Structure 1
Amino acid sequence: MSGMVMAASALGDRALGRQVHCQILRLGFGAYAFTGSPLVDMYAKMGLIGDAKRVFDEMEGKNVVMYNTMITGLLRCKMVAEARGVFEAMADRDSITWTTMVTGLTQNGLQSEALDVFRRMRAESVGIDQYTFGSILTACGALAASEEGKQIHAYTIRTLYDDNIFVGSALVDMYSKCRNIRLAEAVFRRMTCKNIISWTAMIVGYGQNGCGEEAVRVFSEMQRDGIKPDDFTLGSVISSCANLASLEEGAQFHCMALVSGLRPYITVSNALVTLYGKCGSIEDAHRLFDEMPFHDQVSWTALVSGYAQFGKAKETMDLFEKMLLKGVKPDGVTFIGVLSACSRSGLVEKGRSYFHSMQKDHGIVPLDDHYTCMIDLYSRSGRLKEAGEFIRQMPRCPDAIGWATLLSACRLHGDMEIGKWAAENLLKTDPQNPASYVLLCSMHASKGEWSEVAQLRRGMRDRQVKKEPGCSWIKYKNKVHIFSADDQSHPFSGTIYEKLQWLNSKMVEEGYKPDVSSVLHDVADAEKVHMLSNHSEKLAIAFGLIFVPEEMPIRVVKNLRVCVDCHNATKFISKITGRDILVRDAVRFHKFSNGICSCGDFCTNKSRSLQTKGESAFANSSMQFGIRIVHDFYILIDSCVPKWKVPGCHMGT
C-alpha cells in the first residue's frame, strides 16, 4: 500500500491519494508507521498540509522517520513555527532531522536561525554529512557571512569533506556571494572532480562579482573538459556577456543555444532578452520576447528594463501596465526600470505615482536604488528644492550615488547652495570619492571662481583623492585600442590627428561652436578649445572612421561621462560622415545618427539639439548602464541552424 501512496504522490493525483488512504484505513493499516509516513509526505507535497497533520497526530508510536517527514512537509509549506514545535518535541533526533531543519530554515529565508541550529547540532556531536554542509554554506552565502563560512570551510577540511563535489560546489557559491571571488576560484581549482554544478557555480560567481570575461573563459574551459552546458549554465554565461555589453560573445552563445536546442528554455531566453536590450538592440530583444511561449517575472522585467535603459518612457510604461494586466507581479528591479524611464524623460508626476504605488499596491520596500531614481527624477528636471525635501523625508540618508546625482544636477543648473550641501554629505558618506571635488570645481569654474577651484584641488592633494583619468577605447579586429586626451602613442597617431583636423574644419562649417564650460583650467579660450579638440572619445571616433568599414557602426566606450562638448561634436560628426556612432559612457548609451542622439540631449538638461540649415533634431531619451562594449562582428550561423536569425550576425571580418 505504501507503494501506491508514493505513486499517487508522484502523480500529484489527489483523488487517487485519498482513495488509497481510504483503502489503507479499511484494511486496518492506518496506525502503522510504514503507511503513515508516506501519507504525511503525500499530503504535504500536494499542499494538503491539514490532512498531513491529521494523519501525523492520529498516528501512534511515531518514529523518527515520521517526525522528519512531518517537519519536511511543514517547512515546505512555510509553516516554520509549527515545524520548529515538532522539532523541539522530539525526544530523539538523528542527523537527517537536524539537516532537515537547517535546510528548511535556509530555504525559508531564515539563515541566521539555520546557523543557530547548526551550532546546536555541532554541540550535540551529531554527524554532519555533505547535505548539511551544503545547506549551511548556502545560508552563509545568503547572509554574506564570510567569517562563519571560513570556519565551516575549515571544518569540512578536518572532516575530509572538502574534496566532496557537492561541498566543493557549495563553497564556491558561498565565497562568490561573500564577494571573495579569489577564494572561490582557489576552492574551484583544488577540486579534483567537477560536474556541471561545480562549473556553473564558478561561472555564476564570476558574473556576480563583475568578472564577466573570466566567466566566459571558464565556460570555454568547461567545454574543453567535455562538460556540456545545461540551460542554467548557458543562461549564466549569456548574462555575463550582457553585463559586459559584449555583442560578439553574446551572439555566439545565441548560436550555441539554437544549435544545442536550449533556446526555448526560459532561463536562456530571459538572458538573451537582457543581452540584446543591454547591447542597444531593443528591437531584437522585443522580438525574442514575443517568440517566447511563456513569460515569467524575469522575462517582463528584462524587457521593461531594456526599454527603460533607452529612456523610452511610453513603451516602458505600456509594457509595465501590460505586465500587471497579465497578472505578473513586479519586483524591485522592475520598478527601478520604470522609475529610470520616467527620470530620463522628465515625467516627474508619473514617476512619483509609480514610487508610491510600489509601496502601497505591491508592498515593495524601497531600496537605495529606488531612492536614487527619485532623487534623479527631481534633479534631472531642475526641481532641486523638491529633491532636497525628498532627501530630508527619506528614512535613511542617501548613499554616495544619491548624493552625487544631486550634486551633478546642481552643477548643470548652477545651484551653488544645494550643491555645497550635497558635496558636504557626499564627503561624509564617501571621503575618497572624487565626484564632490570635481563637480564643485566645475561649478566654481563656470562662474570664473578660480581661487575656489585651486583650493578644492589642494584639498584633493592633501587627502590623496585621485580623479580617475578619462580614456576611451574601441575594438577593431579583436584588438582593443585605448586613447587618452592628447594621446600621441598610437601607431597611427598622425593619421588620426589629420582625420580629426579635417572633422573640426567641417564641423565649424556646419555651425559647431566648442563648449568650453567643461574645461576646469584658468587658461585662454583658445587653449580650452585645443584641449577639447583632443578628448579621448574624439580620437577613438576618428580611429573608427578610418578603420571600421562604412557599413558598420562605430562603437566607442568611455570610462567617464561624455562631456557636453564631445556629445555635441559627435552629433555633428555623425551628420557630416553619415555614420552611426554608438558611445557608451559610465552612465548611459548614446546612439548618434544623422546629427541626432538617442538621448535627445535630455542628459545635458540644456536642450542642445543640433540645428543645421534650419533643421531641429529631437529624439527619445535613452540610458544604458555598463563598462564594456565590443565591435559588431559576428559569426555566421550555419545553414542547418533553424529559421531564427541571430540579430547582427553576418559575414565579414
Structure 2
Amino acid sequence: MPSAFSLFPARPLTAITSISHFPENPRTLILQQCKTTKDVRQIHSHLIKTRLILNPAVAKNLLECTAILLPSTMDYALSIFGEMVQPNPSAFNVMIRGFTYRQSPLEAILLFKKMLESSVEPDEFTFPCTLKACSRLGALREAEQVHALAVKCGFGSNGFVQNTLIHAYAKCGRVEVARRLFEGMLERDVVAWNSMFAGYTKSECWEEVVKLFCRMRESGVGFDEVTMISVLMACGRLADLEMGKWISEHIEAHGLKKNLALVTSLIDMYAKCGEVDTARRLFDQMDIRDVVAWSAMISGYSQANRCREALDLFHEMQKANVEPNEVTMVSVLYACAVLGALETGKWAHSYIKKKKMKVTVNLGTALIDFYAKCGSVDNSIDVFHKMTSKNVYTWTALIQSLASSGQGKRALDFFYRMQEKNIVPNDVTFIAALAACSHSGLVDEGQRLFVSMSKDFGIDPGIEHYGCMVDVLGRMGSIEEAYTFVKNMPIQPNTIIWRTLLASCKVHKNVEIGEESFRQITRLEPAHSGDYILLSNIYASVGRCEDALRVRCQMREKRIKKTPGCSLIGLDGVVYEFFSEDSRHAHFKETYRALEEVIEEIKSAGYVPNPSDARLDAEQGDKEASVSHHSEKLAIAFGLIRTPPGTTIRISKNLRMCSDCHNATKLISKAYDREIIVRDWNRFHHFKEGSCSCNDYW
C-alpha cells in the first residue's frame, strides 16, 4: 500500500483549520470542526507532517471522524487504519462501530475476528460494538461465541456488555435467553428494559411486553420514549385500550406530543383498538406528518374496514407530496381489495412499478390478494410468478384466490407444487385448500387433505377446518354424512358449523336436519335474520307454506330485520354503493330506469322473478318489485349504462347472492354480451354467455 505521505501531501490549511498553534490534543478540532472530507484531508496531512498521527488517541479521533461522523468516508478510514503499525483496541472498536453504523455488520464481525487473530486484547467497549453487528445480522452462533469470550475476558457482568447481550439474543430470536440474562442483572437501567421490550416486540410476545412494563412501573424505574413506543405497539396488538390511554395521558402530562414517533405510535394504537376517530384527531393535530404517520392512519382506516376513508386519506397524502412506502401501499391495496376497486388498485400497482418499489413478500402478497378479491385471477398469478421471493402466506393467498373463483383443481395443483418447493403449508393454507375442494365438489380430495393435515403435518384441525369439511360434504348433498361428522367432532361445534349445515339443507331440501341445525343455532346464540330465512326457504321448497309463513312471522314478532343488501361497483376510480330498494341514491332515477329495461329484456329470455327471495315484509303485490330491486341488480344496471359495450362489470356484495339474482345475472350476461363478476361474502361468480363459473353450486 502507498504511504500516507504520498497519498496526502501536506497543503496549506484553509480558514477552518488555520490556527496559529496546532493544539497538542486536536480532539475538538477533529471531531467538531471537521465538516467535510476536504477538512479531514488537510488535518490528516498536518498530523502526518507533525508525526502526531503516531499518537494512538489522535489516530483514534481521526478514525472516529472518518468512520462514523462524516458521510461516505469509510474507504478513507480504512486507508488510515491500514497505515497504523499496531492498532490498539480503541482503533479496532471505532472501525467495528463504523462498519455497523454504515450497515456493513458482516465486515464488522470479520474485523473483530482479525483483531483476535492479531492478538489484540478486546476491551469492555469491543464486545458491545461486535454484539450490535451480530444483532443486525441475526447471527446467533457468532453472538454466542462473543458472549463466551466476554465472560472469559472478565466482562460478563459489565452492564454495557449485558445490555447489548440482551439485545443481541432478543434480536436473534432467543428471547428466553435474553430474559435469563435480564433477570440475572444486579442493576437494570432503562436500556436493559428497552432491550427486553424490543426482543418481545420482535417475537410478537405482546402480553409479555405489557406485563414487563407493569413490573417496570412497580420497580420505580423511569421509562422513556423508546419504552412507550414498544408498549403502545403491544397495546394496539392486544386491543389494550386502558393501558394505551394511560400512556397517552402520560404523554400529554409531560408535554411529549412534539415527539413525532411517539404520537405516530399513539395513532397506531388507537386505530388498532377501534378508536379510529381519536386516532384521526391526533393525526390532524400534528404539525409535521412523515410517511410513517400517514401510513399508520391509512392502515387504521383499512383495518377498521373504513376503506373509503383510507383511500381518501391516501389521496390527501399525495396532495401533500409525501412519498408512500411499502406499508402505505399494502394498506391501500387492502382497502381496494375490500371495496373491489379494481381500477384504483391497478393504479396503485402502476405507481409501485413507476417508483421502482421493491416487490417484497408483503407487498407481493398484498397485490395477489387484491387482484384475487377483485376477481382478476390471471393478474394474481402473473404477480405471483414475477415475485423473486415467496413465503407460505404468498402461496396461501394464491391458493385462496383460485379456490374462491371456482378453480379448485388448479388451486390444489399450486398446493402440491408449494410442497415441492419445500414450503410447508400452515393451518390457513389448509383452510384455503379445503375451500377449493368445497367450491369444486372435490369430496374425496377434501377428506384426504383433512386427514393429511394432522397425520403428515402435525396440524390439529381447528373449527374452521371442520367447517370446511361440513361444507364439502353438505354441498355435494351428503347431508346425513355431514350431520354425523358434526356430531362426532372432538370440539364443540359453533354456530358457523351449524349455519353451514343449515345452508346445505336449504339447497338439498332436507327439513329434518335443517330444523335440528336451526335448534342448535338458537341454543348457542340468538338466531339472526339469515337463519330464519334459510329455514323458511327449506319449508317453502318442500311445499310446507304454513311453516314457512310461521317462521317469517316469528321474525316479525321478534323484530328481527334482514341485513340490507349492499353492492359496490368501481368506475373511473370512484366506488358507487347501492342498497336494495334504495330510492335515495344520487343516481336513483337513471339506475331504476335502466333496470326496468334490463328486467324486460331478460323476461323475454325466460326470466321469472322468484318471490321467495323478496323482502319479508313486502306485500304480495310488491314482491316482484322487491326482488327486482336487489342491490346487485341495481349495481349491474348502473354498470351497463356507465361503461362501453363489452366492458367487464365487477360487483362486490355484502351478503350471499340470492338464487333470483344469480339466475337474472346469467341471463343479463348473455343478453348484453357482458362478463359480470360478482363477489359475494362467500365466493366469486364469473358470469359469461349465460352461465356461471360456480355451475349453480354455491
TM-score, normalisation: structure 1? 0.83
Equivalent in the alignment of 1:16: 110
CA distance in 1, matches of 2:592, 2:232: 58
Distance apart, 1:8 and its partner CA: 6.8
Give the unaligned 5+ runs of structure 2. 1-91
CA distance in 1, matches of 2:665, 2:173: 57
SS state at 2:384 partner: helix
Equivalent in the alignment of 2:74: none
CA distance in 2, matches of 1:494, 1:433: 30
Match of 2:446 among 327, 351, 354: 351
Equivalent in the alignment of 1:480: 576
Match of 2:357 among 254, 262, 287: 262
Equivalent in the alignment of 1:100: 195
Equivalent in the alignment of 2:498: 403
CA distance in 2, matches of 1:599, 1:254: 29
Describe the superposition over 1:344-384 as per-residue Cα deviations: whole angstroms up to 9, x where unpaired. Answer: 01112212322333344444454443333222222212222
Equivalent in the alignment of 1:644: none
1:75-154 paired onto structure 2 within 5 Å: 75-154=170-249
Distance apart, 1:165 and its partner CA: 1.4
Query: Residue type matched to 1:590 in 2?
Result: H
User: Is the aligned partner of 1:38 residue 2:133?
Assistant: no
CA distance in 1, matches of 2:397, 2:371: 10
Task: Classify 1:7/1:358 alpha carbon distance in 2 versus 1 (closer, same or farther; 3 Å).
Answer: farther
| 8 Å contact from structure 1 (residues 56, 70) kept in 2 | no
Distance apart, 1:317 and its partner CA: 1.1
Match of 2:341 among 241, 246, 251: 246
Q: CA RMSD in A?
A: 3.1
1:507-546 paired onto structure 2 within 5 Å: 507-508=605-606, 518=613, 532=627, 535-546=630-641
Distance apart, 1:181 and its partner CA: 2.3
SS state at 1:555 partner: strand
Distance apart, 1:442 and its partner CA: 1.4
Distance apart, 1:274 and its partner CA: 2.1
1:585-604 paired onto structure 2 within 5 Å: 585-603=680-698
Match of 1:57 among 143, 151, 155: 151
| 8 Å contact from structure 1 (residues 102, 115) kept in 2 | no
Distance apart, 1:101 and its partner CA: 1.5
Match of 1:236 among 318, 331, 352: 331
User: Is the aligned partner of 1:443 residue 2:534?
Assistant: no
| 8 Å contact from structure 2 (residues 567, 632) kept in 1 | yes
Equivalent in the alignment of 2:558: 463
The aligned length equals 597
Equivalent in the alignment of 2:300: 205
Equivalent in the alignment of 2:407: 312
CA distance in 2, matches of 1:494, 1:38: 72
Distance apart, 1:308 and its partner CA: 1.5
User: Is the aligned partner of 1:503 residue 2:587?
Assistant: no
Match of 1:453 among 548, 555, 566: 548
CA distance in 2, matches of 1:124, 1:334: 44
TM-score, normalisation: structure 2? 0.78
SS state at 1:229 partner: coil
| 8 Å contact from structure 1 (residues 304, 320) kept in 2 | yes
Describe the superposition over 1:590-646 as per-residue Cα deviations: whole angstroms up to 9, x where unpaired. Answer: 22111121111121xxxxxxxxxxxxxxxxxxxxxxxxxxxxxxxxxxxxxxxxxxx
Task: Classify 1:139/1:59 alpha carbon distance in 2 versus 1 (closer, same or farther; 3 Å).
Answer: farther
Higher relative contact order (CA 8 A, sep 6+): 1
Equivalent in the alignment of 1:549: 644
| 8 Å contact from structure 1 (residues 352, 374) kept in 2 | yes
Query: Residue type matched to 2:377 in 1?
Result: I
Distance apart, 1:435 and its partner CA: 1.9
Task: Classify 1:445/1:97 alpha carbon distance in 2 versus 1 (closer, same or farther; 3 Å).
Answer: same
Identical pairs, percent: 35
Equivalent in the alignment of 2:94: 3
Match of 1:382 among 477, 481, 485: 477
Match of 1:575 among 670, 677, 681: 670
CA distance in 1, matches of 2:459, 2:285: 42
Distance apart, 1:235 and its partner CA: 2.7
Of stretches 292-301 and 274-283 in structure 1, the one that deviates more from structure 2 is: 292-301
SS state at 2:398 partner: helix
| 8 Å contact from structure 2 (residues 360, 389) kept in 1 | no
SS state at 1:270 partner: helix
SS state at 1:602 partner: coil
Of stretches 143-152 and 307-316 in structure 1, the one that deviates more from structure 2 is: 143-152
Match of 1:426 among 515, 518, 521: 521
| 8 Å contact from structure 2 (residues 340, 569) kept in 1 | no
| 8 Å contact from structure 1 (residues 557, 583) kept in 2 | yes
| 8 Å contact from structure 2 (residues 248, 266) kept in 1 | yes
| 8 Å contact from structure 2 (residues 532, 551) kept in 1 | yes
Task: Classify 1:190/1:434 alpha carbon distance in 2 versus 1 (closer, same or farther; 3 Å).
Answer: same
Task: Classify 1:371/1:206 alpha carbon distance in 2 versus 1 (closer, same or farther; 3 Å).
Answer: farther
Match of 1:182 among 277, 284, 287: 277
CA distance in 1, matches of 2:591, 2:148: 82
Query: Which structure is larger by alpha-carbon Rg, 1 or 2?
Result: 2
